[in-house]
A and B are shown apart, each in its own frame.
Chain A
């Protein structure tokens, strides 16, 4: 392979700022992509922790025994098709939950805490919630049925929209980097058109001329992308440390951390390769006209 440079591409004034632009784009692009991974990872983690689809609240009235009502409700719920599990939230958990909401210094004994039953569904089956609610209301009209799936679905949709937007932004940044390479290459072709003409007249094929641009783009693209990716990693690490202090330990969760790390490592290789392909297409398209 002949790696000599027959075109003085490294002295191009027009391409002087391209590495800095590419470094900035790789910085933004990798951070955006890692943010996408973070969202996906967080969503997955959050969804796996969501075990309750429905909560049944049975108010407790003084002087009325609640245990028979609770067991009756549990019986009705567990016999409903599609219900996988129904568990009464323990008194300790209820107190803990209320304390976290109203504060430690409030005397919780003065409240009559309701009985809460967490219900999980078999995701493969459709549960007739309306029917269940009607049935429970017929047992006691004070029973409340709280369906969590609606807000869970809204949050999930919001996150997925954010993931889609983040991916789109990453894609647009990549597209902008490739367009920059394309236009810089076309400018290079114009600047060196006389040399290219001579090369062509002495028998240089279009592929030979394109190779000159490719090698130059690959080299500069890799260096610029590596710099951009390195600074993105530094930023990510700084944010991880910051979020770690704020108990956002998900950032340093091993599987996510290694996914992010692989993005920072692979970004310069992928970007440089795509830039090289962009440069080749720019040259071949221009010379084949």
Chain B
């Protein structure tokens, strides 16, 4: 049996007086798997990712991450679990007062890696996502697509065990979207479990990975839409 990265048991959630967005979801994410998270708008894709990166405590049920029960976990322990997770936020969440290169190197720095080494890694990664000439720029000066690539670079720089991406290709053109997907595939090959929330039908058709489909508060695992051969990553 392969190692479980995340395990949800009977997870339910609703926002204050709002309707239930999850009704007892039970699901396992294994190490090295790749899933697309799909579903209609407002179905709870972002909330599901939030629950997984411990940004949202479910109203009931239990979430186990990396074998640890998070239900009664003290809050100061959560960042240590989050260090194993990379997140691409839908609204990027870049720090505007830091340069692009500092934003990307931030996850390494908070893990105690020395500044010089973390900046070197950040430069390499930014080069790869085509932002080699924006290292010294501040996020406020970047376009939506550029910000998205910075956010992706920040999420993958630590080679996390679990990568959660909320619409990571929403602001980039198709070529860049494909390139970013190949980057995620590369990470996946190195053992990272990946969950990408997307609406992009083209991506869903091109990359034949199972889908987690959210509908009416439940999550169903669906096999790939098409079994097209996977693209090789561009080196």
On A, residues with C-beta under 8 Å from B are 2, 4, 6, 8, 11, 195, 198-206, 208, 287-289
Cα(A201)–Cα(B85), bound, Å: 9
Interface residues of B in 98-120 (CB under 8 A from A): 98, 102, 106-107, 109-112, 114-115
- Which of B34-42, B74-82, B216-224, B226-234 is the contact stretch? B74-82
Partner of B79, one of A4, A6, A205: A205
Write 8 A-B pairs (CB below 8 A) sorted by A numbering. Answer: A2-B112, A2-B114, A4-B115, A201-B87, A201-B89, A202-B87, A202-B107, A203-B107
Chain A min CB distance to B200 (Å): 24
B interface residues, how many (CB within 8 angstroms):
28
Task: List the 6 closest pairs (A to B, CB-CB), nearest first.
Answer: A203-B83, A204-B110, A8-B97, A203-B82, A205-B79, A202-B107
Which chain B positions have C-beta within 8 A of A198?
93, 95
CA distance A205 to B112 in the complex (A): 11
B112 touches A6 (CB 8 A): no
A1: min CB distance to chain B, Å: 9
Determine whether the beta carbon of B109 is less than 8 Å from that of A201: no
Q: Which residues of A contact B74 (CB under 8 A)?
A: 288
Inter-chain CA distance A205–B76, complex, in Å, is 7
Give B contacts to A, CB under 8 Å. 53, 55, 74-76, 78-80, 82-83, 85, 87, 89, 93, 95, 97-98, 102, 106-107, 109-112, 114-115, 154, 158
The total number of A-B Cβ pairs within 8 Å is 61
Across the interface, A203 reaches (CB within 8 A) one of B76, B111, B114, namely: B111
Please indicate the chain B residues that have their CB under 8 angstroms from the CB of A199 in the complex.
106, 110
With both chains docked as a complex, state the minimum distance between the C-beta of B46 and any C-beta of chain A, in angstroms.
13
- The docked-state distance in angstroms from the alpha carbon of A4 to that of B98 is 11
In the complex the two chains form, what is the Cα distance from A251 to B79 in whole Å? Answer: 56
Whether A204 and B79, one on each chain, are in contact in the complex, defined by CB atoms closer than 8 angstroms, is yes
**C-alpha gap A287/B77 in the complex (Å):** 11
- Quick check: A203 and B110 within 8 Å, CB to CB? yes
Contact pick for A201, options B55, B80, B111, B114, CB 8 Å: B55
Nearest-neighbour CB distance to chain B for A187, whole angstroms, equals 18
Q: Are A4 and B102 in contact (CB under 8 A)?
A: yes
In the complex, what distance in Å separates the CA atom of A205 from the CA atom of B111? 9
Give the shortest distance, in Å, between B107 (CB) and chain A (any CB): 5
In the complex, chain B residues whose CB is within 8 Å of the CB of A208: 79, 110
In the complex, given contacts A8-B97, A204-B110, what are 5 additional A-B residue pairs having Cβ atoms less than 8 angstroms apart?
A6-B98, A201-B53, A202-B110, A202-B154, A287-B76
A residues in contact with B93, CB < 8 Å = 198, 201
Determine the chain B residues whose CB is within 8 A of the CB of A204 once the complex forms. 79, 110
**A4 CA / B93 CA spacing, docked (Å):** 19
CB-nearest residue of chain A relative to B154?
A: A202
> In the complex, A205 Cα to B106 Cα: how many Å?
13
Closest partner residue, chain B, to A199 (CB atom): B110
Contacts of B158 in A (CB 8 A): 203
